[in-house]
Structure 1
Amino acid sequence: MTTIRNPILPGFNPDPAFCRAGDDYYIATSTFEWYPGVQIHHSRDLVNWRLVCRPLDRQSQLDMRGNPDSCGVWAPALTYADGLFWLIYTDVKRRLGNFKDTHNYLVTAPSIEGPWSDPIFMNSSGFDPSLFHDDDGRKWFVNMVWDHRRRRNSFDGILLQEYSPAEQRLVGPIKNIFKGSPLGLVEGPHLWKRNGWYYLTVAEGGTSYNHAVTIARSRNIDGPYELHPNTHLLTSKDAPDAPLQRAGHGFYVEASTGEVYHTHLCSRPLPGTRRSPLGRETAIQRVVWREDDWLYLAHGGQVPAVEVKGPDLPRHPFPPEPERHDFDDGRLPSAFQWLRTPDWGRLFSLTVRASHLRLYGRESIGSWFEQALVARRQTDWSYSAETALEFEPETYQQMAGLICYYDRARFHYLAVSADDEGRRVLQVISCLGDHPDALMTYMLDSDLPLPEDGPIHLGVDVHLADLQFRWSIDGVNWKPVGPILDASILSDEAGPGAHGSFTGAFVGMAAHDLTGRALPADFDHFSYRADMPSD
């Protein structure tokens, strides 16, 4: 018997849309302000997964310059029909205040690797869009609708409208088919059909600790929809000690063996806290159909399990990701992303200097437009990361180094910069998420002098909520620098901006040049090593 161990996609991988194409299984997850947009993972056995593509990789598909933190790509939906992959996504331009600007698009591809089409605009009435392919050939588009008036509930139900592939637009009447359960905050809709029933799975309760997957059904696609006997297929809201918290928002798939599964997002708070630097992750649960034509967790109850029985399929492992990247082949390793802009050539190059990642210092740390920051997800509670850079700053307005980053209000930065006389120094800069204006704190009593030239090795060790930077001249003899910092601030739940924060902790390389001269910083390598199991 194979065993699926959750989460199957550790680290920031929320809002999992589940898709099967023959013997291949795909999960698409949200990427928010990180570029390229949408992560798609592939599996043949539901146990082993690998990142196969990020399809939104050019300006015509996605340009997030100016998008605030935790905006950008929300809740993609991936389906396969008519020999094509269909990817629906939202580009959120505003999330705070009464209004949300939520533009929904469709792209298609004959293969999961592409080529992916230019987008077709669908609507802007709300977020979390999805496309359902009915067995009569018609296609139906659903999304939650946002009520900016807030007279009752901003989450005003699930809208349904037909999509015409021939006309490449939504057509016909718009109907609100489901207002949700008493839990409220209904979003994340997906439709599927079985035994003459239309099933609607939605997310409810908000994506924090009251989150849930709710299921309803109807004989007609436009309703009325009746709630599941238990209302929620799965939730951790009443199980505060469950290992997988914040469980909700996913989709149903029938395996080629006939066994059935449902994805969902979850988080694993640091022990004794309600903070999750790993962000919202992806898990999968085995589900069963009962005689009443309703879906239930196979292990019973509503609380998601860490270990579930896998399908009766051959094991299909993938090669592990390398711990160290030496930037030798002229391409950015797939583990890394950057922020917002499709014009990545203004941020970095892997060819100007062989076997190096060159970052061009751009706008300030936390900029919503053009920031040279290339990083990978934190996927473990405890890890070590290292890099080495050559950087010759001339002024204190230029800095580059190793960064642990959540957003503009939450980061820790080990930076090479210059003092008032232009001499190289090492700084530890933090933004602790405790001030609405994202004020920085310098964590050393005074800057640490560095040699006038030559590479500087930078490292970080994270163990649960403790984060310690270190540095070295030769990469062998290391010295700690600065105090032990709080790694838990790099989470959705930390600070006054925590409401509506949706990503996760990253660790990577950054360069900033506030003079506008784009001073380059050359990084020789980057390594990430998990130091203990993340459970």
Structure 2
Amino acid sequence: MTETIRNPILPGFNPDPSICRVGSDYYIATSTFEWYPGVQIHHSRDLANWQLAARPLERASQLDMRGNPDSCGIWAPCLSHADGVFWLIYTDMKRYEGNFKDGHNYLVTAPAIEGPWSDPVYLNSSGFDPSLFHDTDGRKWLVNLRWDYRPRAGQDRFGGILLQEYDPAEKRLIGPDRIIFTGTAMKLTEGPHLYRRDGWYHLLVAEGGTSYDHAVTMARSRSITGPYEVHPDNPVLTSRYAPDNPLQRAGHADLVETPSGQTWMVHLCGRPLPGTWRSPLGRETALQPVEWCDDGWLRLAHGGNTPALDVPMPDVTPQALPEEEVFRFEEELLPAAFQWLRTPERERIFSLTERPGYLRVFGRESPGSWFEQGLVARRQDSTACSAETEITFEPDDLQQFAGLIAYYNRFKFHYLAVTRGDSGDKVLVVISCNDDWPNGYLDITDADGVVLEPDSPVRLGVDIHEQALRFRYQGSDGAWIPIGPTLDVSLLSDEGNGRAHGYFTGNFLGMAAHDISGRGTPADFAWFRYRRTP
């Protein structure tokens, strides 16, 4: 029996997929950027149904992103399995705007996907998107983009793919490094992976940038050091020539082979909202069947180079995501759906024990901070969804505010917040920041706010349908009451206003507490409900 799966297989912000198989188990690692813990690893037995299995970078010795700008942090991890061990390569990007990139590449290992994951081995800082190739002779090779900071007419700064040998015994790179591929006319050559098949080394790279010209390029050589000849039908995968395809921005891919010999390609994609070129769900992970043809080159199984929305898959029953998820904070571990921003010191951000049965979020720096924010959130993974929570919060003044937030980055968020008004009352206001650098315009809808009962919890909600976002709260009679205007959720996206062309994450919905007085005033959340609506 042949079923059909619908892309993406990992909906919501899950970009830059790297895939590997161990026996009958498949694993996909994706980028997390400034969200902590670092790297998402999903597990599947059938390539169609996936569950979050691990976020391995979870302690300060492995990752500390305090001070990392928006969309820095973990870029393009590479997950592989060899010698009975999982190998995870990742970049911690400290700066990416302008001519210079400050990104450091590391390796951690583990005997099982759940860990324990080792402390990192430093590799290099020459460029991002590192990948580890395990050759059949036992040697290991690191490939990564080399960054060229020099501004030159007609040249981009993606200076080619760099190859260097890694010695696992010495835990360091050895021997010379050399450029093995400088890309095609699409430019912006990044995201390299190496494979060996039938006496050829196949190099897969991403090109064309991460927006709507994104693409997958392949090249091959008889020698690992090159020269590499480009695929005759390149690009192998792209949406750049198919503006009506629901899967846009297709690129940054990896390959896996099933036990029966079938090859599949995972790749990132974006789904812009109807009538827009904005995708608040961020860059997601899709899956395509591919074939090695008689000429030794890889091609999409359905022909052409455009990604398919629906993919046939034999003997698989895809399971729909649940319509509703309710998270109660009765355990000492944060539910797996949630992450926070940048810091390994989670005890500074939240507690599940200070008030048993509640998630206590400590008010820290402002929503614009790159260091320490009291914000615990989950991915928006559907264009039609809602979220609700119940908050207990008693602010002292206007510098303390907490509530329900839709958050993309420091200049892009919509926030339903409990705070203290000028009258001295506890009030509910909508705070919206929907512009980008250099304006960063903050709008507070009705600064006097809706007056709330003192010393009482309040239930907050948000509804999203495609481009429209509307907040609500529950009145004393139990009825839900809209508050504030209808807001544009499409602005909370990579393609939103201003400098956002080049940001790389997606929209999150969650619970926040901010105290810019520095007193750390906490907010307590009793539960969090997330619904995907038809």
Identify whether the pair has TM-score above 0.5, normalized to the shorter chain.
yes
| Pair 1:199 & 2:187 matched | no
- Residue 455 of structure 1 aligns with an amino acid whose one-letter code is P
Q: Which residue identity does 1:37 align to in structure 2?
A: G
Aligned equivalent of 1:283, options 286, 305, 315: 286
In structure 2, give the amino acid aligned to 1:442.
Answer: I
Aligned counterpart for 1:429 among listed residues 428, 431, 439: 431
Residue 132 of structure 1 and its aligned partner are, at CA, apart by 0.2
What does 1:484-495 align with in structure 2 at a 5 Å threshold?
A: 484-495=486-497
Partners of 1:18 and 1:250 within 8 A in 2 = no
Matched, 1:150 2:151: yes
Determine the structure 1 residue equivalent to 2:90. 89
Instruction: Give the superposition deviation at 1:104.
Output: 0.1
Q: Is the 8 A contact 1:41 1:50 kept in 2?
A: yes
Other-structure match for 1:169: 172
Distance 2:516 2:486 in 1: 28
Q: Deviations 1:458-515 (Å, cap 9, x if unpaired)?
A: 0000001100000014593110000101111110000111122000000000000111
Give 1:72's aligned residue: 73
- Equivalent in the alignment of 2:128: 127
Match of 1:515 among 503, 514, 517: 517
Alignment correspondent of 1:23: 24
Q: Is the 8 A contact 2:412 2:433 kept in 1?
A: yes
CA distance in structure 1 between the partners assigned to 2:350 and 2:200 by the alignment: 51
Q: Partners of 2:50 and 2:3 in 1: how far apart?
A: 14
Aligned position for 2:351: 349
**Within 5 Å, which residues of 2 pair with 1:4-19?**
4-19=5-20
Q: Equivalent residue for 1:48?
A: 49
CA–CA separation in structure 2 for the residues paired with 1:147 and 1:475: 62
Shift of 1:444: 2.5
- Cα deviation 1:204-247 (Å, max 9, x = unaligned): 00000000000000000000000011111110001100110000
Instruction: Establish whether residue 330 from structure 1 lines up as the match of residue 335 from structure 2.
Output: no
Three-state SS of the structure 2 residue aligned to 1:230 is: coil
- Determine if the alignment matches structure 1 residue 228 to structure 2 residue 231: yes
Counterpart Cα distance in 1 of 2:162 and 2:436:
38
Deviation at 1:366, TM superposition (A): 2.0
Partners of 2:180 and 2:415 in 1: how far apart? Answer: 48
Partners in 1 of 2:185 and 2:45 — Cα distance?
38
Counterpart-to-counterpart distance in 2, 1:215 and 1:485: 42
What's the TM-score, normalizing by structure 2?
A: 0.97
1:214 touches 1:232 (CA, 8 Å); kept in 2? yes
Q: Secondary structure at the match of 1:2?
A: strand
Query: For residues 230 and 222 of structure 1, what CA distance do their matches in structure 2 show?
Result: 23
- In structure 2, how many angstroms separate the alpha carbons of the residues matched to 1:345 and 1:83? 35
Residues 50, 318 of structure 1: 8 Å contact kept: no
Select which of 297, 303, 324 maps to 2:306: 303
The 3 A distance-change label for structure 1 pair 316 and 6 is closer
- Counterpart pick for 1:248 among 243, 247, 251: 251
Aligned with residue 469 of structure 1, among 447, 468, 471 = 471
CA distance in 1, matches of 2:318, 2:398: 51
**8 Å Cα contact 1:44-1:316 kept in structure 2:** no
Task: Output the amino acid matched with 1:78.
Answer: L
| 1:360 matched residue in structure 2 | 362
1:461 and 1:468 in contact (8 A); partners too: yes
User: After the TM superposition, which parts of structure 1 deviate over 4 Å for at least 4 consecutive aligned residues?
Assistant: 312-322
For residues 2-32 of structure 1, the C-alpha deviation after alignment (integer angstroms, 9 at most, x for no partner) is: 3232000000000000111111001000000
CA distance in structure 2 between the partners assigned to 1:14 and 1:282 by the alignment: 6
Amino acid of the residue matched to residue 62 of structure 2?
Q
Once the two structures are overlaid, the 10-residue window that deviates more, 118-127 or 249-258, is 249-258
User: 1:381 corresponds to which letter in structure 2?
Assistant: T
Aligned CA distance change for structure 1 residues 322 and 272 (closer, same or farther; 3 Å): closer
Code of the aligned partner of 2:404: L
1:249-297 Cα offsets, whole Å, 9 max, x none, are 0101111121110010000000010000000000010001110000010
Indicate the RMSD between aligned Cα atoms, in angstroms: 1.4
Structure 1 stretches lacking a partner, 5+ long: none
Residue-pair matches, total: 531
Residue 331 of structure 1: how far off its partner (Å): 1.4
What SS does the corresponding residue of 2:126 show, helix, strand or coil?
A: coil
1:214 pairs with one of 213, 217, 228: 217
**For 2:499, what is the secondary structure of its paired residue?**
coil
In the alignment, what sits opposite 1:529? 531
Q: Letter of the aligned partner of 2:291 in structure 1?
A: V
Q: Distance in 1 between matches of 2:139 and 2:348?
A: 44
| Post-superposition CA distance 1:179-210 (Å, at most 9, x none) | 00111100000001100100000000000000
CA contact (8 A) 1:209 1:236 kept: yes
In structure 2, what is the Cα distance between the partners aligned to 1:268 and 1:137? 40
Shift in Å, 1:435: 4.6
Q: Which residue of 1 aligns with 2:502?
A: 500
Cα distance in structure 2, aligned partners of 1:313 and 1:141: 37
**Alignment partners' CA distance in 2, 1:422 and 1:62:** 42
SS for the counterpart of 1:518 is: coil
How much does 1:329 deviate? 1.4
Gaps of 5+ in 2: none
* Distance in 2 (alpha carbons) for counterparts of 1:230 and 1:252: 18
Distance in structure 1 (CA, Å) of the matches to 2:17 and 2:236? 16
Are 1:410 and 2:412 counterparts?
yes
Taking the aligned partners of 2:445 and 2:134, their CA distance within structure 1 comes to 55
| Deviation at residue 321 of structure 1 after TM alignment | 8.9
Q: Could you say what secondary structure the match of 2:49 adopts? A: coil
Q: C-alpha separation between the residues in 2 aligned to 1:330 and 1:302?
A: 48
Give the secondary-structure state (helix, strand or coil) at the position aligned to 1:443.
Answer: strand
Does structure 2 retain, via aligned residues, the 8 Å contact 1:457–1:474? no
Q: Find the residue that maps to 1:113 and give its secondary structure.
A: coil
